[in-house]
């Protein structure tokens, strides 16, 4: 099986460990194979630092894209409130406790956000017929429209950036990003449920 590498990684020729040089470590491709050569540990650290810097740079770009896509909706919702809308967009209904858990906030904080979103007519709540002590929440059509509009703007801007890449670069980017997401235990997006997932509706097992 051939061994595949992320673009930009260096393969060094084998060398001895005499004279105090750094110990050699096997090279593992992103498809799991192990190369027949080895590189000094210092070179491995250099590769990790280079990839880390590249990911941080890309993350700044993605944060900027996210901020610009939300700018038009800022008169109606804040970023935390938009996160709540995104979580609700991925579910039919949620109770307050489950919503707070999905957002990693305490229930009182979630309740204040729900109050504001209900006042803005972006979220509705009703008593759960199966449990009269429980209130369930869901998006209104207006709330869904906010999520759809922001998602469309984000997708358009990312597409404009991707179109500047050559076809081979796009293919390499898809592979690298999938590998990175897998290494971080990020589950694959459920594109059947949400064609443009925003990554805030966590379903960890």
Our count of domains for the chain comes to: 2
Domain that holds residue 149: 76-186
Instruction: Encode pLDDT of 144-174 as tens digits.
Output: 999 999 999 999 999 999 999 999 999 999 9
Instruction: Encode pLDDT of 183-197 as tens digits.
Output: 988 776 655 445 445
Q: What is the CATH number of the domain that holds 107?
A: 1.10.10.10
Q: Label residue 138 by pLDDT band (50, 70, 90).
A: very high
pTM of the model: 0.63
Domain presence at residue 129? yes
Closest CA to 78 of 31, 30, 112: 112
Domain presence at residue 37? yes
Pair (154, 89) in one structural domain? yes
Confirm if 51 and 30 have CB atoms less than 8 A apart.
no
Pair (105, 179) in one structural domain? yes
| Listed range (24-28, 37-41, 171-175, 180-184) with the worst mean pLDDT | 24-28
């Amino acid at each position: 099986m051939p061994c595949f590498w992320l673009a930009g990684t260096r393969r060094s020729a084998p060398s001895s460990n005499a004279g105090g040089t750094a110990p050699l470590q096997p090279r593992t491709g992103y498809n799991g194979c192990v190369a027949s050569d080895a590189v000094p540990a210092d070179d491995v650290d250099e590769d990790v630092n280079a990839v880390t810097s590249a990911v941080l740079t890309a993350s700044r770009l993605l944060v900027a894209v996210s901020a610009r896509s939300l700018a038009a909706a800022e008169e109606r919702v804040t970023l935390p409130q938009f996160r709540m809308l995104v979580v609700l967009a991925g579910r039919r209904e949620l109770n307050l406790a489950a919503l707070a858990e999905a957002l990693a906030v305490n229930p009182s904080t979630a309740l204040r956000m729900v109050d504001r979103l209900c006042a803005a007519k972006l979220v509705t709540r009703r008593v759960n017929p199966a449990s009269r002590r429980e209130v369930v929440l869901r998006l209104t059509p207006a709330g869904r429209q906010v999520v759809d509009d922001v998602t469309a703007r984000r997708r358009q801007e990312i597409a404009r950036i991707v179109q500047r890449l050559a076809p081979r670069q796009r293919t390499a980017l898809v592979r690298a990003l999938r590998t990175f997401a897998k290494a971080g235990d990020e589950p694959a997006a459920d594109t059947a449920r949400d064609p443009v997932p925003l990554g805030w509706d966590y379903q960890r097992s």
